[in-house]
Amino acid sequence: MKTSTLPRQRLQEVTRLMMSRDEILEWIKRLGCLIIGVGMLKGGTGKTTSTIYLALYLAKMLGLRVCVVDTDDNSQTVDNWYKVRERRGEDVPFDLVTYDPKDEDGPDFDDVLEQLAESYDVLLVDVGGAGKETYWELSKTAHMLLLPMAPSGFETTRMPATLKQASRGGKQNQNRFKVFLVLVKCDNRTTLPEEQQAALEGALEALDATKQLRVPVDLVHEDFNVSNATHYPRSWDTTPRTPDLEEYGVLFRYMMKTWAA
């Protein structure tokens, strides 16, 4: 959603659903470090793009100290994206740490997060495909999980398994904890986003009815779904510009408002 194109009244309505910049900074100061996991348990569309865009927004637009933790040992796409920028001599405004969950001699994941939290305002954990144990450990520690999905049944059917694992870890989470489901790659010229939004609502109601939801889950308001703008697939080669960060910026502000409510 591009807020700059909205009529005044609509902009006012949408703004009421978002936390202000000053409120966000105050919350993060109070927390010490905000930890956000991004990704479905079995991979999926949009996790790496979402991680990178959120990291750029938080670092560039809010001036926060941001570290991305790449736990996807299968592809390590964030790590590869970061290395491309380093080879070009670009100044990437966030730091990157790569964690291999299969390294038996490596440190425990919760210890890594605890240590990093002492040095950063925000930790963004790219957790898709990292395995159940890593997802569970993250759910014990994080403040939020963001599950990006394309408006397709192939994507949304992965949701229950992910929420089950998030519930397992979330039961032991001492923080204010919430899971967010958001549709990405939305072509609003079609009815697919609307259809999948309704399908997700039905799936969540079914999970709730069978008492499989043990953590708070928010299906992101349709106004904050992410479009299929061409700069997203181009972001591997072309680093996103400041205007390109708007959709993920308003999504984050919505998440903060909902999480803090």
Q: What is the domain range of residue 49?
A: 3-260
The answer, yes or no, to whether residue 7 has pLDDT greater than 80, is: no
The per-residue pLDDT for range 226-255, each reduced to its tens digit, is 999 999 999 998 999 999 999 999 999 999
Indicate the number of domains in the chain: 1
The per-residue pLDDT for range 117-149, each reduced to its tens digit, is 999 999 999 986 657 888 888 999 999 999 999
Q: Which has the closest alpha carbon to 84: 93, 72, 73, 92?
A: 92
pLDDT of 165 reads 85
The continuous run of DSSP H or E covering 208 comes out as helix 192-209
How remote is the C-alpha of 238 from its chain's centroid? 21
Q: What is the pTM of this model?
A: 0.94
| CATH number of the domain to which 17 belongs | 3.40.50.300
